[in-house]
Chain A
Amino acid sequence: MVTENIWRLSPSSRRDTSSSVFYPRIRFRTDDGQDITTITNTGSYPPAHHINEAVTILYDPQQPYHAVIRSFAELWMLPLVFSGLGLLFLSIGAGPIVWKGLRIRKIAWLRENGRRITADITHVGLNTSLTVNGEHPYRILCQWLDPAVNQMHTFKSESIWFNPGQYIHGKTVEVLVDPTNPHRYLVVTDFLPRVV
């Protein structure tokens, strides 16, 4: 049974600032009659509990000083904050890695199953919508008329980090297209030198 609880100002905080945090000091009697006084690990401002508010204490029977007020914040806030921050960082870090993996899979699938068509090159130039370290990549724009349905398809190559103009000798380029989804394609630039 809890006999007394004392709100204690955090030693690292100042009373005159809004950063002051109160940690509840709890005193309770264990089942074997031992009186325990301890301070919980979770503080808050304003105090999370009112005076004379009934509270439930959880304590470790092996280590009675390891005791907490049974509340969602006291028990689960720390793992939630760590997991939330971790997921945030992980999504920022793993997002591009996953995206790159999916792209490699898409390219492999298109090389194996894609329909190979020959498109007319319409433009080779800088992609100013993308900037990395102050530089824009080049890209090849091309188009292909599907004679079966009289539909014009336009394609853009992947980013090319050098000027490919002098290495493009013809007026056409091969494109691998998903037979079921023309928006899923790969402009084949294997004829260009690789960037080291």
Chain B
Amino acid sequence: MRTLRLFIGLFAVVGLIFVSAGIGIFLHTRRFVATAVSVSGWLRRISGG
């Protein structure tokens, strides 16, 4: 039972970290989109490097 509780707790902690990261990236991206300059263009060619 103790091992099971440990695993459940671990899942919750990892989940919280991932959700926090997701929210952090979301807020960062939203801030970036709000301040970024938008320019238009088109793709010209594809190369291997």
- A84 CB contacts on chain B under 8 angstroms: 22
Interface residue? A86 (CB, 8 A): yes
Complexed CA–CA distance, A55 and B44 (Å): 11
Q: Are B23 and A89 in contact (CB under 8 A)?
A: no
User: Are B38 and A57 interface neighbours, CB within 8 A?
Assistant: yes
Chain A interface size range? 35 or more
Find the A residue at minimum CB distance from B25: A79
**Is A55 within 8 A of B41, CB to CB?**
yes
Chain A min CB distance to B27 (Å): 9
A159 to chain B, nearest CB (A): 11
Residues of chain A from 1 to 42 with CB closer than 8 A to chain B in the complex: 1-9, 15, 22, 24, 26, 28-31
Q: Which residues of A contact B12 (CB under 8 A)?
A: 89-90, 92-94, 97
Contact status B22-A89, CB under 8 Å: no
Chain B residue numbers with a CB within 8 Å of A94 are 12, 15
Given A9-B49, A93-B12, A97-B12, residue A83 in contact with residue B19 (CB < 8 A) = yes
**Is A75 part of the contact surface with B, judged by Cβ < 8 Å?**
yes
Known contacts A9-B48, A61-B35, A132 near B40 by CB under 8 Å = no
Number of chain B residues close to chain A: CB under 8 A: 39
In the bound complex, residues from chain B placing their C-beta under 8 Å from that of A49 are: 43
Which residues from 145 to 194 on chain A have a C-beta closer than 8 Å to any C-beta of chain B? none
**B43 touching A97 by the CB < 8 A rule?**
no
Report A59-113 residues with CB < 8 Å from chain B CB: 59-61, 66, 70, 75-76, 78-94, 96-97
Q: Are A90 and B46 closer than 8 Å at their CB atoms?
A: no
Q: Is A58 an interface residue (CB 8 A)?
A: yes
What are the interface flags for B9-24 relative to A under an 8 Å C-beta threshold, 1 for contact and 0 otherwise? 1111111111111110
A68 to chain B, nearest CB (A): 8
A-B contact pairs, 10 of them (CB 8 A): A2-B40, A2-B42, A30-B39, A51-B45, A57-B38, A57-B39, A59-B36, A60-B36, A79-B26, A89-B14
User: Which of B's residues lie within 8 Å of A, judged by CB?
Assistant: 1, 3-4, 8-23, 25-26, 29, 32-33, 35-49
- List 6 other contacts, CB 8 Å, given A2-B42, A5-B41, A55-B40: A7-B47, A54-B42, A55-B41, A56-B41, A76-B26, A89-B11
